Structure 1
Amino acid sequence: MTEPEPDPRRWRALAVCLVAGFMTLLDVSIVNVALPSIEVGIGATESDLQWIVSGYALTFGLVLVGAGRTGDAIGRRTMFIAGVLVFGLSSVAAGLAPSSGVLVAARLFQGIGGGLLNPQVSGLIQEMFTGRERGRAFGLLGATIGVSTAVGPVVGGLIIGLLGVETGWRWIFFVNLPIVVGAVLLALRWLPPPRRRHADQRLDLDPVGVVLLGLGVAALLLPLIERGRGDGFSFPWWTGLVGAGLVAGFVAWEGAYTVRGRSPLVELALFRVPGYSSGATVSAVFFAGFTGIFFVLTIYFQQGLGYSALGAGLMVTPYAAGSAVGSALGGRLVHRFGRLLVTGGLVLSLAGLVAVDVVLTAVDGPSLPWALAGPLLLGGLGSGFVISPNITLTLHDVPVERAGTAAGVLQTGQRIGTAAGIALIGAVFFGLGAASGDLTNAAALAIRVAAAVISLALIASAVDLRTRQQEGRVSPEATDTGKPAQRHTRS
């Protein structure tokens, strides 16, 4: 029997997914440089500014797993479009916000929109691509993640510089609107339609599991994202312990729910899929290290060296360039080298951070940007070899019908890792900087902490590499059947 041809629309569908995903991930960092303008424009307080940033990260992380599970159940195109629409409408509300309270609420809904659509992107890649093509697709996704994180400050600085402090910040939200309209129209045309369920097939979304996991993730994230702003935090440290307890309760509930023959939010068997648990661990720990780098450097360049928001953003563009190149190459090479490529990328990333530390303490004045360009480029290249290949390897053996859930769990780990890393690295930077008044040494020490965190990811990846070598599955080539993705017909 001849296998069906791949869907000819798959690369166009991927382009739609990546542009929408880029839009939501860009909004994680683009707002940072607009905070002073927002403070002037609508009189936002320090607490308001904190929640404009933190609220987005919080709701983004809260809905990821539930959105992935729902997309698996009712159709990824449906959830993708819903997420884009929620994001677009809340972007309009944010841009028109007459007060800081309205802006905070709009950012909360923006985060929900981003959380709804992002797991669908990984799930759709699993659905539409196989073999080497899947690696290339995840390579482009990795480049999107890396570049969107790094260019946010540059784009925000450009918009505010062109349109002014008073109203320029509103346009960092309004620029989303053409993307939203285009994404919805093209998604309806190119994304594969939902599979039809049998009339007797019950839709089971595990509402108790959704609530337990949502409350657990919220309790874990709240003290971290508030502490990461460097302004103190109102949620006590033991809130995180409550969150851990709720997550443990969630795991127990999912096990009992499965025994009863129901369909859980997260099948615990997912963590027994070869490479999934180890890959998710590497992802969470690496995101804790590499996102903290941008947080510290952009603040240091502005507060310590007197750069403008745009100048600070331009300073980290070598990292973005390296990440884009590394992700594109990594997507093509992962099928051949597998976990070895990720481990090597972590070594390059670590080497780049060590070089950044050396440059910060040894070079100053006008030559600093040029001296930092090489180390940041190297670190970004290593990051590109980590992010997209690790996604490919982590999801490689996950059944397609659970791809959205698996992606949601993976991205939730990334969000928790990001919040924890910024809290830790930010605490070191702000604490030492406030105590000594020497922001250069504070930034260098914070970079060393980030390097230590990435070293932990390197250890986890090396252990997984060793396990794969013993089992004879170092790369996807060892297990791939090479079958093409099935063609999808429109309903």
Structure 2
Amino acid sequence: MTTPVTKTTAPAQKEVIVPRRWRRLALIGGSLFADNNETSVISTLAPVIFAALALPLSALGVLVAVGKTVAVVFGPIWAYVARRTNRKLTFVLTSAAAGLATIATGFAQDYATLLLGYGITAVFVAASLPLVSEITSDLFGEASRGRASGYTWGAVSLIGSIAGPLLGQLANIEGGWRWGFFIWGSIMIVLAVMIFLLFEDPGVGASEPASTVMTAEQRASHEKITWPKVRQMFQIPTFVLMLIQRLVSGHLLIASFGTIFLVNTYGFTTAVAAVVLLPFGIGYMVGTFGGGIVTDLLHRAFPNWGRILVLQVAQLGFGIVAIVATQFDWGGIEVFAAFWAVLGFLQGLNPGVNRPIVAAVIPPELRGAAFALMLSVFEAAAYAIFNLLAGFLGEAYGLTVVMLWLPGILMLVNGVFVTILYKTYPRDVARFEATMLARTQENAAQR
């Protein structure tokens, strides 16, 4: 950004309350649940799917990696298409198409058709994360974004925590894994129809005071995405550091490899191992709900470092608990379930803090592109690489070693890396607020 940094933060502007913002968030959050949790059909039922199709352990890593690699390409594309056309229509069509592709995946007869169906599904699923993140920032202002993101992912986790163990019971039915895909695909289609009928797009920057005083021409000018504007994002140190931070996040392996890890390493059946998904989901919900509230409170009390502290505690805590939880045979599934609940809580702190951090330093018109880069490119690329490594290293050295290094030690490194944000974040927020104040004054002068 070109606006010079002042020693003091620009005066805070009153938050704009977008009408029916919670109802709108619930609608798009529902779609995010269906799209995002399609992966759980593979991860939860991997043992029976792989037995039915005679697949090796490395196949799970390849499947998840393919899905995330596709997201790297199509996440930014869908964000661009949505901005150039219509966000709501893009959301509806991609969710419906993902549902149809998920249903088709349930008819897979071998590895090639399973991989093809999963890859096609991923093309359309890639739209949900950047669009939901951008629209959430448009619905909620700076003071309540942490809570909004936390509630969204908490609700997603609550439903997923119930759905996960239920999916696990399909392992007891001949060909039950196919019904997992059929059910998930149907849910996606139903929610796509609900969004089409009930959702109203608030518009880009609807929660920003600067946007409310713009004329239609001024708003259209700011909403145009150009390459100079995109390059501008990479001149914001906090945003660049958040991208790197996502690259060294190995915690998502607990979701994709957790069930098969417990089956292969400690001898649980698929149905029993899937039980840990319930406490994990409940822990995640508590982390997102409570974490979003605590993050907003800390941010208001300590705006320069409150959010950074939450992010750092989440990363360091996850690494420590992951090592303790996975490196020892704790006997019954109940003890593992307790550890998974703590892991879910610590992972659940992330959505309520990393999205608001990015939104606090990125102009409204660039947030869609920023979230596409962070979630659909950098996070997805890291997830793809880690899952490939987990699959092949798991076959060579065992999943216990994989869990030690990726969700464990790497997350400790991640937590230490976050320390750099204590220096960059306050300066970048000051730049952002000064820029938005300048826009407000400029727009008012032109009216």
Q: Same fold (TM over 0.5)?
A: yes
Whole-angstrom CA distance in 1 between matches of 2:243 and 2:156: 16
Counterpart selection for 2:396 from 425, 428, 431: 431
CA deviation profile, 1:391-422 (whole Å, cap 9, x unmatched): 21122222222221111101121111112223
- The match for 2:273 is 312
- The match for 1:180 is 189
* Counterpart amino acid of residue 136 in structure 1: R
The answer to whether the 8 A contact 1:345-1:382 is kept is yes
Distance 1:282 1:293, change over 3 A: same
Deviation, 1:5, is: 6.0
Distance 1:384 1:35, change over 3 A: closer
The answer to whether the 8 A contact 2:259-2:273 is kept is yes
The answer to whether the 8 A contact 1:25-1:148 is kept is no
1:284 aligns with 2:253: no
Deviation, 1:131, is: 2.4
Whole-angstrom CA distance in 1 between matches of 2:405 and 2:109: 42
* Counterpart amino acid of residue 450 in structure 1: P
Distance 1:478 1:281, change over 3 A: farther
Distance 1:463 1:296, change over 3 A: same
The answer to whether the 8 A contact 2:153-2:351 is kept is yes
Corresponding residue SS for 1:118:
helix
- The match for 2:370 is 406
The answer to whether the 8 A contact 2:102-2:117 is kept is yes
* Counterpart amino acid of residue 189 in structure 2: V
* Counterpart amino acid of residue 382 in structure 1: L
Distance 1:479 1:428, change over 3 A: farther
Question: Which TM-score applies when normalising by structure 1?
Answer: 0.70
Whole-angstrom CA distance in 2 between matches of 1:135 and 1:477: 18
1:83 aligns with 2:52: no
Unaligned runs of 5+ residues in structure 2 are 1-12, 205-214, 300-305, 438-447
Distance 1:311 1:426, change over 3 A: same
* Counterpart amino acid of residue 199 in structure 2: W
The answer to whether the 8 A contact 1:29-1:153 is kept is yes
1:69 aligns with 2:30: no
Unaligned runs of 5+ residues in structure 1 are 206-261, 434-441, 482-491
Select between 167-176 and 72-81 the one with higher mean Cα deviation: 167-176
1:131 aligns with 2:142: yes
1:387 aligns with 2:356: no
- The match for 1:333 is 294
CA deviation profile, 1:277-323 (whole Å, cap 9, x unmatched): 2222223322xx11223445422321233222221121354333222
Whole-angstrom CA distance in 2 between matches of 1:462 and 1:151: 36
Whole-angstrom CA distance in 1 between matches of 2:270 and 2:436: 47
Identity score, percent: 18
Corresponding residue SS for 1:56:
helix
Distance 1:101 1:418, change over 3 A: closer
The answer to whether the 8 A contact 1:321-1:377 is kept is yes
The answer to whether the 8 A contact 1:428-1:446 is kept is no
Distance 1:61 1:150, change over 3 A: farther
Deviation, 1:341, is: 1.4
- The match for 1:463 is 420
1:189 aligns with 2:198: yes
The answer to whether the 8 A contact 1:346-1:382 is kept is yes
Distance 1:267 1:473, change over 3 A: closer
The answer to whether the 8 A contact 2:105-2:113 is kept is yes
- The match for 2:211 is none
Distance 1:398 1:146, change over 3 A: farther
Whole-angstrom CA distance in 2 between matches of 1:197 and 1:69: 21
Whole-angstrom CA distance in 2 between matches of 1:144 and 1:57: 23
Counterpart selection for 1:119 from 119, 130, 140: 130
**Structural mapping, 1:141-152, within 5 Å:** 141-143=152-154
* Backbone CA RMSD of aligned residues: 3.8
Counterpart selection for 1:447 from 391, 404, 411: 404
Whole-angstrom CA distance in 2 between matches of 1:102 and 1:159: 21
Select between 404-413 and 6-15 the one with higher mean Cα deviation: 6-15
Whole-angstrom CA distance in 2 between matches of 1:273 and 1:324: 31
**Structural mapping, 1:182-261, within 5 Å:** 182-192=191-201
Deviation, 1:178, is: 3.9
Higher relative contact order (CA 8 A, sep 6+): 2
* Counterpart amino acid of residue 349 in structure 2: F
The answer to whether the 8 A contact 2:31-2:95 is kept is yes
Distance 1:448 1:316, change over 3 A: farther
CA deviation profile, 1:323-378 (whole Å, cap 9, x unmatched): 22111122112232221111122232233124325xx43x4433xx3333444333
1:378 aligns with 2:389: no
* Counterpart amino acid of residue 351 in structure 1: I
The answer to whether the 8 A contact 2:93-2:192 is kept is no
Deviation, 1:477, is: 11
Question: Which TM-score applies when normalising by structure 2?
Answer: 0.77
Distance 1:150 1:461, change over 3 A: farther
Q: How many residues align?
A: 401
* Counterpart amino acid of residue 316 in structure 2: V
- The match for 2:381 is 416
Whole-angstrom CA distance in 1 between matches of 2:59 and 2:402: 29
1:343 aligns with 2:312: yes
CA deviation profile, 1:187-232 (whole Å, cap 9, x unmatched): 442231768997xx89x99xxxxxxxxxxxxxxxxxxxxxxxxxxx
Deviation, 1:24, is: 1.3
Corresponding residue SS for 2:175:
coil
1:365 aligns with 2:331: yes
Whole-angstrom CA distance in 2 between matches of 1:364 and 1:91: 36
- The match for 1:485 is none
* Counterpart amino acid of residue 404 in structure 2: I
- The match for 1:110 is 121
Distance 1:320 1:49, change over 3 A: closer
Whole-angstrom CA distance in 1 between matches of 2:55 and 2:307: 48
Whole-angstrom CA distance in 2 between matches of 1:472 and 1:44: 52
The answer to whether the 8 A contact 1:154-1:314 is kept is yes
Distance 1:96 1:353, change over 3 A: closer
Corresponding residue SS for 1:307:
coil
Deviation, 1:102, is: 4.7
1:353 aligns with 2:357: no
Whole-angstrom CA distance in 2 between matches of 1:133 and 1:299: 38
